[in-house]
Structure 1
Amino acid sequence: MASIEKRLRHGNTTWLARWRDLDGKQRKRSFPRKLDAQRFLATVEADLVRGTYVDPNDKTIFRDYAEAWRAAQVHRPTTRAHVETNLRRNVYPYFGDRRMVSIRPSEVQAWVSKLSTAPGALSASTVQVVHGIVASIFKAAIRDRKVASSPCEGTRLPRKLPREVVPLDTAVVETLIEKIAPRYRALVVLGAGTGMRQGECFGLTLDRIDLTRRTLRVDRQLVLMPAKPAFLAPPKTSASHRTIPLPRVVADELAEHIRQFPTTHSDGLVFTDGDGRALRRTAFSRLVWRPLVTVAGAPHGTGFHDLRHYFASLLIRHGESVKTVQNRLGHATAAETLDTYSHLWPDSDDRTREAVDTVLTLTQRQPHPAGNDQR
């Protein structure tokens, strides 16, 4: 039963509001005015009836709740590591020791601004991801009645500037293939000739290749976690599971690679380092890829993922549909494909002109004789 008591202490009058929460536990809060106590109790009682009650004195610390939330999520290993790293580096230093009910929207906005502008600022896309993690935590806290509302609502986030994919020239791709060490030649051909992601290429095993039918099954990728051995796991999304038709040039390179560098890896990995171990992204980038980009004269910042863009541009150039490109790349939706590569499809203005010019053929009009202008 809710009640209000008058308290007199050291000559000061306060009003103590008492109520019982959803668990039957008695709560209390003091106010300098009776009217404030009455209004507060009215709100509490209404929230209890609606089932939206939140303890205003809840002492749950953000870090404690976030860690419990993180442990309960059904995440892929890489996503789990990604979330843990972002919380530890970019969130806990600001909000880790704060009570959840004390975090204000203005503080979240100031935090986002600092992440975006401070020395070593994060990119706009990374800030959006980190803010999304915190927003998800508060959304769960609302369901658990730890907070009444999310301080992440209405946050103004930095805008990610659109960046058009500029595919590599075929001459550059051929130079990369020519200049790379023989052990990794087929790896570059595979990336350029199938559009597979780097983790999918690194995780390719012998039993997923059918050289007779010239097909390749993608249903795993190589996952690398800090301080842990590499392991095979499902690919990025369910749409990433796909069977890829192998062009002759790719099939021939794979066959030659398997002949020259027979695998000794326990999982049958096709591509390994000189010691027969699984390739690690950081080591491969430092020791193989970045030096190769320099030697080949490729554009600054060229990454292995650019081979995927090159493959997509080849399909588009040869008239493949959006659906085919989506399936070959393993995109979740056609919208994802269009968002990335729409600028590479033939311009609709040119097709409109060509359609009319092809069908509507008129005799070229002769100019009227001077002075014989018919109006």
Structure 2
Amino acid sequence: MADASLKRQPNGRYRARYRDADGQQHERRFAVKAEGQLWLDEQAAAVVTGTHVDPRAGRVTFREHAEDWRLRQHHRPATQARVETMLRLHVYPTFGDRPLSAIRPSHIEAWSKRLADSLAPATVRGLHRYLSGILQAAVRDRLLASSPMDGVRQPKRETKRGVVPLSVEEVLRLADAVPDRWRAAVLLAAGTGMRQGEVFGLTVDRVDWLRRTVRVDRQLVLVPGAPPTLAEPKTEASVRTIPLPQVVVDALAAHLAAHPAGPDGFVFTSPEGQPQRRTAFSARVWRPAVRTAGLDQYDDGQGATFHDLRHHYASLLIRFGESVKTVQARLGHASAAETLDTYSHLWPDSDDRTRDAVDSALGAAVQGSGQSTTGPAAGGLSVAR
């Protein structure tokens, strides 16, 4: 380390000074000489090992660094909007104006505790991931020597309650409760499992009327400060072709006859003919329909959501014997594990089939050898039921 020095000043304090690998000069003052020498030794070791951090770098505010990080990420438009909203609402009010070097693990733990009192555990975990990514980037950029997130525990994952799908009768009540221009959208979501953004982003050219299929390769997303726009689906696995049941084909045909697609080809639009915003749809269409259908207390008082139509579709596939891989493909899940995590409780119980399989093979063999399968066997072996 170049030009390192430790000198006593006229006031009796010690000035420690050095130049880093970039030629930048740094200094600190100490009351005790040994403390100054220890600081110089630590900085020298950091320069040699390549972990040196400019002591002034940590003065950058969290918001400045986080915005720089956010704009560098290769996120899909919908993810970009979600990250911006989550940081603005839940992170910047606490950390935005703090210098990076002033953020301590205890600050993060207190912040996490406050969030847990008002937000779902999954939301808090997502905020932890964003905060961790931002602080790790600060370490890589040599703005911090280490991340204050190290050792901070994330909220425990809540035990997932099994999805309780809407019944056919409940879906039909919702279809009857929405305005006429949205009836086909309810039947489309319930009959294909398409997500809300995929339904709102559907254009006429994605419907193959002859083969009775719909191609899902886009979704309508909201980006702050911009009109609704078409973007890639949630994941690569979300790009899929779904068979259209005849009931959905008929509903779409009737819808387009009554509400023709506009210049952009959107099947579903607002009454003004514009791409439909989810917030406006929820306030003006969906929530009133849920109340009219008597489903405002569904799911322990949470009320039915548009996403529950997707769960209904999955439950129908499972009820009629479709495999996990088929359900995964129809829903556009990234893996079969995701499908099982959500819907495994809906597949028929296999206990009886397991018993029958073993009895048909092992039971027959045991009986053929003269052993009993209903009580103690020779040699003390018994077959438990």
Pair in the same fold by TM > 0.5: yes
Q: 1:177 Cα deviation (Å)?
A: 2.2
1:297 aligns with 294
- Out of 169, 177, 183, the residue aligned to residue 179 of structure 1 is 177
Are 2:12 and 1:7 aligned?
Answer: no
Preserved contact between residue 104 and residue 148 of structure 2 (Cα < 8 Å): yes
The aligned amino acid for 2:260 is P
2-structure distance, mates of 1:295, 1:144: 55
- Out of 123, 143, 146, the residue aligned to residue 143 of structure 2 is 146
2:94 aligns with 94
2:379 aligns with none
Q: 1:357 Cα deviation (Å)?
A: 5.0
1:283 aligns with 280
2-structure distance, mates of 1:356, 1:169: 35
Q: Which runs of 5+ in 2 are unaligned?
A: 376-385
Equivalent residue runs for 1:22-171 within 5 Å: 22-58=21-57, 59-117=59-117, 121-161=118-158, 162-171=160-169
Question: Which has the larger displacement, 158-167 or 318-327?
Answer: 158-167
TM-score between both structures, scaled by the size of structure 1: 0.90
2:381 aligns with none
Q: Which runs of 5+ in 1 are unaligned?
A: 369-375
In structure 2, do the counterparts of structure 1 residues 2 and 237 end up closer, same or farther at CA, with 3 Å as the change threshold?
same
Aligned residues: 360
Preserved contact between residue 6 and residue 37 of structure 2 (Cα < 8 Å): no
- Out of 202, 205, 230, the residue aligned to residue 204 of structure 1 is 202
Preserved contact between residue 17 and residue 26 of structure 2 (Cα < 8 Å): yes
Q: What secondary structure is seen at the aligned counterpart in 1 of 2:128?
A: helix
- Out of 229, 233, 237, the residue aligned to residue 235 of structure 1 is 233
2-structure distance, mates of 1:339, 1:84: 29
Q: 1:225 Cα deviation (Å)?
A: 2.8
In structure 2, do the counterparts of structure 1 residues 357 and 184 end up closer, same or farther at CA, with 3 Å as the change threshold?
farther
Equivalent residue runs for 1:298-337 within 5 Å: 298=295, 299=298, 300=301, 301-337=303-339
The aligned amino acid for 1:313 is S
The aligned amino acid for 1:324 is T
2-structure distance, mates of 1:150, 1:228: 35
Q: 1:181 Cα deviation (Å)?
A: 2.4
Q: 1:174 Cα deviation (Å)?
A: 2.1
Q: What secondary structure is seen at the aligned counterpart in 1 of 2:242?
A: strand
Q: 1:180 Cα deviation (Å)?
A: 2.7
Preserved contact between residue 215 and residue 240 of structure 2 (Cα < 8 Å): yes
1-structure distance, mates of 2:140, 2:352: 53
2-structure distance, mates of 1:322, 1:344: 11
2-structure distance, mates of 1:148, 1:227: 37
Among all aligned residue pairs of Structure 1 and Structure 2, give the percentage whose two residues are the same amino acid.
55
Q: Deviations over 1:288-345 (max 9, x none)?
A: 1112112222224100100000111111112211111111111111111111111112
Q: 1:23 Cα deviation (Å)?
A: 1.4
What CA RMSD, in Å, does the superposition of the two structures yield over aligned residues? 2.1
Preserved contact between residue 2 and residue 17 of structure 1 (Cα < 8 Å): no
